[in-house]
Structure 1
Amino acid sequence: MAVALILVLITVGSVVFHLVSPWWWTPIASNWGYIDSTIVITFWITGAVFVAVVFFMAYCVYRFRHQPGRQAHYEPESKRLELWLTILTGVGVAAMLTPGLFVWRQFITVPEDATDIEVLGQQWQWAFRLPGPDGKLGMTDTRLVSPDNPLGISREDPKGQDDVIIEGGELRLPVDKPVKALLRSVDVIHNFYVPEMRAKMDLVPGQVSYIWFTPTRTGTFEILCAELCGVGHPQMRGTVVVQEQKDYQAWLEGQASRNFARLAPAVQ
């Protein structure tokens, strides 16, 4: 009886803690509320299964507890039970996977009007590249990466001459404008993660991955590396500053001294 009661109390306590817990996710600041909805659906399904299984265990512990003269009934298999368990498990897994498939399709389908930016991760700092007045990023090559050209930008590509290079971990973006972040790493695997944006993706050496999102409110949001990348991993942080379009444009126009054409002559 005591064991059954403990199981019930653990289950009820877990549900109550989940409902009143102060450690919920941060307020969302992008279009990816779909991810929150998918997580909530998963929590409800797995939570219901958790409650049902533990309550059933508590019932079995109490109902079939040892009593003098009682003997266990041996039943090696039950095809009917196995069939029902298979069906219920399949329905539960499908219910969790289906919303995720729709969200994943949106996650990988970049809007045509999205602006390309670049995020470069290296132990243990972030660097960014924004398109200049032409609105396009120039070509890069990992073989061109050097202390003088940390992003590996091709000096022969005219599209890259006006690219704005931001080192120091502060990325600025306009509000309500979709962006496609091209993600690169020059050493080990990193992960670009802004909790308020919900979107996150690995930066893998030797390849260019991407995520896209639309900032939906202004403010300053922290960038984290969500992949263990060495002893300096906890300090690999930055910020995303989301501004109104006019403020962002004024800031971008003031970054002429940071475009690649001006930086390149000093390293040639």
Structure 2
Amino acid sequence: MAVALILLLVAIGSVLFHLYSPWWWTPIATDWSYIDHTISITFWITGVVFTAVIAFMAYCVFRFHHREGRRADYNPENKKLEWWLSVGTGVGVAAMLAPGLVVWHQFVTVPADATEVEVMGQQWQWSFRLPGKDGRLGTSDVRNINPENPLGLNRDDPHGQDDVVIENGDLHLPIGKPVKVLLRSVDVLHDFYVPEFRAKMDMVPGMVTYFWIKPIRTGTFDVLCAELCGAAHYQMRAKVTVDNESDYHAWLEQQKTFAELSGRNAVVRATYQSGGK
């Protein structure tokens, strides 16, 4: 009896702790509430199944506990029970997977009016690139990466000359506009993650992965790496700020383009080679 009661208390306590836990999601800052809803559906389904299984275990412990003179009934097969378990499990798994598949389709279907922002991850910093006045990002290649060209932009691509390059800095985004986030890695697996955005994706060397978001509230949020990427993984931090339209453009005007940075680096390199004269 005591064991059965303990099992029931564990099940009830676990569910109540989840429902009333102070550790919950951060307030959402994009329109990806679908992801929250999908996770909630998964929690409810797994919570009901968890409680039902524990309750059944408690019932079995209480109903079939040892008594003098009672002998166990050997029953190696029960087709009716197996069918019920198979069908019930299939329905439960489908109920968890179906919303996720719907959300995943939305997750990778980028709106036609979305602007592109590139995120570059490397041990252990974030860099960003935004399109310039032509509205297009220039091409890039990891073979072009060097101290003067940390993002590996193609110097011969005219669309890349006005790209805004932010090395080891913070990113700003305008509120209310969809953004396609292009993800690249220089060295190992990284994962660009802003908890308030709900969206995240692995960054794989040699590939360009992506997701899209539409910020719905202003604020400054932490950028984390959600993939263990080395000894200083915990230090791979940055900030992303969602601005209103005027503040965003004011910030953008203060940033340097690839052409400006290339010219400055060329001057610095020439000065160094001439001995500082």
Q: TM-score range by the shorter chain?
A: over 0.9
Matched with 2:35 is: 35
- Looking at structure 2, the residues matched to 254 and 60 of structure 1 have their Cα atoms a distance apart, in angstroms, of 70
Task: Please say if residues 115 and 179 of structure 1, whose CA atoms lie closer than 8 Å, have aligned partners that are also in contact.
Answer: yes
Within 5 A, what are the aligned runs for 1:46-85? Answer: 46-85=46-85
- Looking at structure 1, the residues matched to 223 and 25 of structure 2 have their Cα atoms a distance apart, in angstroms, of 15
Gap regions ≥5 residues in structure 2: 267-277
Equivalent residue letter for 1:92: G
1:142: Cα distance to partner? 1.0
Within 5 A, what are the aligned runs for 1:1-268? Answer: 1-255=1-255, 258-267=256-265
- Looking at structure 1, the residues matched to 12 and 169 of structure 2 have their Cα atoms a distance apart, in angstroms, of 44
1:247: Cα distance to partner? 1.1
SS of equivalent residue, structure 2 residue 242: strand
Compute the RMSD of aligned alpha carbons: 0.9
- Looking at structure 2, the residues matched to 263 and 122 of structure 1 have their Cα atoms a distance apart, in angstroms, of 20
1:175: Cα distance to partner? 0.3
1:169: Cα distance to partner? 3.2
Task: Please say if residues 194 and 222 of structure 1, whose CA atoms lie closer than 8 Å, have aligned partners that are also in contact.
Answer: yes
1:100: Cα distance to partner? 0.7
Equivalent residue letter for 2:203: L
Indicate the percent of aligned positions where both proteins have the same amino acid. 67
TM-score by length of structure 2 reads 0.94
Gap regions ≥5 residues in structure 1: none
SS of equivalent residue, structure 2 residue 250: helix
TM-score by length of structure 1 reads 0.98
Equivalent residue letter for 2:101: L
1:18: Cα distance to partner? 1.0
Task: Please say if residues 121 and 186 of structure 1, whose CA atoms lie closer than 8 Å, have aligned partners that are also in contact.
Answer: yes
Equivalent residue letter for 1:111: P
SS of equivalent residue, structure 2 residue 86: helix
Corresponding residue pairs, total: 266
Task: Please say if residues 126 and 238 of structure 1, whose CA atoms lie closer than 8 Å, have aligned partners that are also in contact.
Answer: yes
